[in-house]
C-alpha cells in the first residue's frame, strides 16, 4: 500500500498547517521511508527467499520492531511542534501504516522470519485484490474526510482536488497497472540501493505535492460557512 497510507494523514486535523501536513504525511509512510533510508546503511536489506517468497523487512515492518518507531514518531512530534498532540497523532499514523500493510502488502513477522507470519500477504497471492483493497481503503478514508469538509462548509480549491486526483486516483491506477510485479521478487535478492533512492525520491515528491495541494486556501462557503461559524 502506498497511496492508502497518505489518506490516513488527512484524518487527524480538519485544517492542518503545511508543517503539520508534511509531518503527518511523513509519519504515515515512516516504515517505508525508514526502510529505504536504512537500505543505504545496509541495516534493512531485503532478504527474499525462493519458493513462497518472503520479503523480510524486520527492522521497519515486523510487529515488535515497529513499537520503537511509534516512540520515535511521538518524540519527533513533541520535538518539532513543542506539544504532544502531533506526536500521538504521528504514532497512531505509524501504527495505522503497519495495520494497513497487513491488509494490503507483503506479509511480515512478529520479530524475524522464525516467528509467526502476520498479514494476508496478498502482494504475493493476489496482487490485484491487494490493490483493490487499497483502493477501497483510500476511498473510505477520503470519503470520511470529504464528508467532514462538506459538513463544516469547507470548500476545497481545484488545486487540492487535482492533488487528490494525482496521488490517489493516478497513484492507485499505477499500482493496478504494475500489480503483478509486486510479488515478483528475485530469490535471495536485496533491494538495490538505486531502487531505494528512486522510491525515496518518489515518496518525497508525493509528500511535497500533497502538502502543497492540501494546504491551498480552503474557501469557507458563503452560505454554509455562516452556519459553520455559528456552530
Ligand atoms: Zn510499508
Instruction: Tell me the pLDDT tens digit for each residue of 19-33.
Output: 999 999 999 999 999
Span from the CA of 85 to the centroid of ligand 1 (angstroms): 23
Q: How far is the CA of 99 from the centre of ligand 1 (A)?
A: 9
Q: How far is the CA of 100 from the centre of ligand 1 (A)?
A: 8
Report the pLDDT value the prediction gives residue 93, as an integer from 0 to 100.
98
Residues 88-116, mean pLDDT to the nearest whole number: 91
- pLDDT band at 223, cuts 50/70/90? very low
Q: How far is the CA of 219 from the centre of ligand 1 (A)?
A: 34
The Å distance, Cα 35 to ligand 1 centre, comes to: 8
Q: How many A from CA of 29 to the centre of ligand 1?
A: 7
Q: How far apart are CA 36 and CA 126, in angstroms?
A: 25
Residues 53 and 187: their CA atoms lie apart, in Å, by 7
Residue 109 has pLDDT above 90, yes or no: no
Q: How far is the CA of 1 from the centre of ligand 1 (A)?
A: 7
Distance from C-alpha of 26 to C-alpha of 90, rounded to nearest angstrom: 9
Residue 129 has pLDDT above 60, yes or no: yes
Residue 25 Cα to ligand 1 middle (Å): 13
Residue 33 alpha carbon to ligand 1 centre in Å? 8
Q: pLDDT category, 69, cuts 50, 70, 90? A: very high
Distance (Å) from CA 220 to ligand 1 centroid: 36
Of 95 and 193, the structure prediction assigns the larger pLDDT to: 95
Q: Cα-flanking dihedrals φ and ψ of residue 149, to 5°?
A: -65, -45
* Predicted local distance difference test score (pLDDT) of residue 42: 79
Per DSSP bridges, beta strands 117-118 and 108-109 are antiparallel
Ligand 1 centre distance from Cα of residue 166 (Å): 20
CB contact set of 13 (below 8 Å; sequence gap of 6+) = 20, 24, 89
Amino acid at each position: 500500500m502506498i497511496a492508502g497510507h497518505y489518506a490516513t494523514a488527512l484524518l487527524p486535523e480538519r485544517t492542518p498547517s503545511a508543517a503539520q501536513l508534511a509531518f503527518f504525511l511523513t509519519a504515515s509512510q515512516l516504515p517505508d521511508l525508514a526502510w529505504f533510508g536504512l537500505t543505504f546503511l545496509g541495516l534493512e536489506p531485503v532478504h527474499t527467499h525462493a519458493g513462497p517468497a518472503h520479503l523480510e523487512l524486520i527492522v521497519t515492518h515486523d510487529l515488535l520492531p515497529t513499537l520503537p518507531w511509534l516512540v520515535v514518531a511521538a518524540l519527533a512530534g513533541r520535538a518539532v511542534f513543542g506539544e504532544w498532540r502531533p506526536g500521538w497523532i504521528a504514532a497512531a499514523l505509524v501504527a495505522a501504516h503497519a495495520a494497513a500493510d497487513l491488509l494490503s502488502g507483503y506479509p511480515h513477522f512478529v520479530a524475524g522470519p522464525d516467528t509467526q507470519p502476520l498479514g494476508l500477504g496478498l502482494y504475493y497471492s493476489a496482487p490485484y485484490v491487494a490493490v483493490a483493497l487499497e483502493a477501497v481503503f483510500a476511498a473510505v478514508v477520503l470519503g470520511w474526510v470529504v464528508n467532514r469538509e462538506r459538513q463544516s462548509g469547507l470548500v476545497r480549491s481545484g488545486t487540492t482536488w487535482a492533488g487528490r486526483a494525482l496521488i490517489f486516483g493516478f497513484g492507485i491506477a499505477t499500482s493496478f497497472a504494475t500489480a503483478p510485479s509486486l510479488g515478483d521478487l528475485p530469490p535471495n535478492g536485496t533491494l538495490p540501493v538505486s531502487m531505494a533512492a528512486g522510491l525515496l525520491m518518489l515518496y518525497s515528491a508525493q509528500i511535497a505535492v500533497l502538502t502543497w495541494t492540501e494546504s491551498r486556501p480552503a474557501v469557507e462557503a458563503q452560505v454554509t460557512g455562516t452556519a459553520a461559524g455559528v456552530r
